[in-house]
Amino acid sequence: MKLGNKQIVQFSNVSFAYDNLEQKQILQQIDFTVREKEFISIVGPSGSGKSTIFRLIAGLEQPTEGTISLYGEQVNDRLGKVGYMPQQDLLMPWRTVLENAALPLELQTGNSLSQQDVFTLLTEFGLAGYENAYPHELSGGMRQRVSFLRATLTGAKLLLLDEPFSALDAMTKLFMQEWLLTQWEKHETTIIFITHDISEALFLSDRIFTISDTPITALQEMTVPLVRPRKQTDLDVDAVIALKHQLIEQFRKQEMT
């Protein structure tokens, strides 16, 4: 998929602290840009502020300093602009797969998709035959697919995925990664993806942002030297193995300090 030149997300000089007793600084004057149709992963230690970056992009928190632009503008209303999939799948247990997936259609007036369109998409998302099943009847991978479908149905071209595959077994995870890349190409979305798994970040991403300090004062960027479409075996290429070891060493040093 050809990358666009449009800036989808731009952080300029953004600082942030939660408004609580601690007032601990999470972000300190950070800048970064994500372009149209990019796949970006963010890798960093737990508690460093990765989910907070998502909450800021989704408009759930406001920066204490600096500006965040989406699609080149400073927008307040993010409905339909950002599809945010938090760590827990947040499916409603009393709603069926179809009803959970179709939730954005109920929330957004003017959304032109019908339940029939959702039905068709359920097949594409590997959920055919499960339209009337409840979340507890699904495997972890299936729940993630319903959740991802729901984020897609918001119509947002920017998706924020917070460790979506961390609870899956190793094989399911590999299949889900391949599936995600297919969906990303097909729907031409821009994805920002949080993960702890360095191989996963290398397989999926155009660029990887790493965090090496708290509060976060900068995101280090590296470009993954692989063309698309990709296969899992591409991770065995020397340049990628070298990058993987470089990342592991970087995180090992952080864990030790």
> How far from 10 is each of 172, 186, 192, 233, CA to CA, in Å?
33, 24, 13, 33
H or E element that contains 137: none
- Minimum distance from CB of 160 to ligand ADP (Å)? 12
Determine how many CB atoms are found less than 10 A away from the CB of residue 242: 11
Beta strands at 190-194 and 39-43: parallel, antiparallel or unpaired: parallel
Question: Nearest-5° angle of CA 230, CA 234, CA 239?
Answer: 125
Strand ranges in 116-195 using DSSP code E only, listed in sequence order: 158-162, 190-194
In whole angstroms, what is the distance from residue 134 CA to residue 100 CA? 9
Q: Looking at beta carbons only, is 18 or 119 nearer to ligand ADP?
A: 18
- Minimum distance from CB of 231 to ligand ADP (Å)? 30
- Minimum distance from CB of 54 to ligand ADP (Å)? 8
Q: Looking at beta carbons only, is 47 or 129 nearer to ligand ADP?
A: 47
Kindly list the strands in the beta sheet with 207-211, ordered across the sheet, starting from the edge strand earlier in the chain: 82-85, 158-162, 190-194, 39-43, 207-211, 219-223
Q: Looking at beta carbons only, is 45 or 155 nearer to ligand ADP?
A: 45
Which residues contribute to the site for ligand ADP (CB under 6 A)? 18, 20, 26, 44, 46-52
Tokens of 128: 């055919």
b/e code 31-49 from CB counts within 10 Å (16+ = b): ebebbbbbbbbbbbeeebb
Q: Looking at beta carbons only, is 57 or 127 nearer to ligand ADP?
A: 57
- Minimum distance from CB of 26 to ligand ADP (Å)? 5
- Minimum distance from CB of 148 to ligand ADP (Å)? 19
Q: Looking at beta carbons only, is 45 or 80 nearer to ligand ADP?
A: 45
- Minimum distance from CB of 34 to ligand ADP (Å)? 17
Q: Looking at beta carbons only, is 47 or 225 nearer to ligand ADP?
A: 47
